[in-house]
A and B are shown apart, each in its own frame.
Chain A
């Protein structure tokens, strides 16, 4: 079965500090994609960053980067220089490739950036 687990329901970080959100997943597929989506109070889900499983290099998007550990099936999100606008629910998601186009989501981590 394909699963995504986020073990941190809530986290808090001071503005300008760095925070890491955890995600583990399980899949028997070799080719898959991992995503982090952000859901601010506006409720719209926005893609933050994505990683292709066959790429060893960790993805980076400005202040956002991932630590992708394929053997450990871990996909954590690091937010550097946290800003108040980063306050949101963050969802880790997996697409395990092949013929499926559905995303499997984790339960989310609510991040609060404190001034």
Chain B
């Protein structure tokens, strides 16, 4: 079965530094997402991306966050100036259609971001 690929699996950074988390969604998918899970807490929606633009974002996704699909295959999440509270597992996902019609999301294995 095709997979969503995320790199790196673990990223350590200093507070205030910029990080870019990378994802390669499944090739024929049209919807792309980022979710995050702080240790011991719920998996939380960050942003969805469709037709080369953000279709929805949560209150977590403030000006420090941005997403991009630079080359038609990669989907990136950038955090401009990391904070300690950004430490979390970040999951990328993609789907053919959206879950509002019951569509299944395919998730990557996550990037564990540690901000020191």
Is residue B48 within 8 Å, beta carbon to beta carbon, of the partner chain?
Answer: yes
Tell me the complex Cα distance, A33–B105, Å: 13
- B99 lies within 8 A of A107 (CB): no
Is residue B25 within 8 Å, beta carbon to beta carbon, of the partner chain?
Answer: no
- B104 lies within 8 A of A33 (CB): no
Is residue B43 within 8 Å, beta carbon to beta carbon, of the partner chain?
Answer: yes
Please indicate the chain B residues that have their CB under 8 angstroms from the CB of A75 in the complex: none
Knowing A101-B55, A102-B48 are in contact, say whether A50-B104 is a contact too (CB < 8 A): yes
Knowing A47-B105, A107-B42 are in contact, say whether A100-B110 is a contact too (CB < 8 A): no
Please indicate the chain B residues that have their CB under 8 angstroms from the CB of A42 in the complex: 109
Q: Mark A96-111, 1 if CB is under 8 A from B, else 0.
A: 0111111111111000
- A43 lies within 8 A of B45 (CB): no
Please indicate the chain A residues that have their CB under 8 angstroms from the CB of B41 in the complex: 107
Tell me the complex Cα distance, A108–B89, Å: 15
Minimum Cβ distance to chain B for residue A92 (Å): 11
Q: Which residue of A lies closest to B48 (CB)?
A: A101
Task: Please list the residues of chain B having a beta carbon within 8 angstroms of any beta carbon in chain A.
Answer: 3, 31, 33, 35, 41-45, 48, 50, 55-56, 58, 89, 91, 93, 98-102, 104-105, 107-110
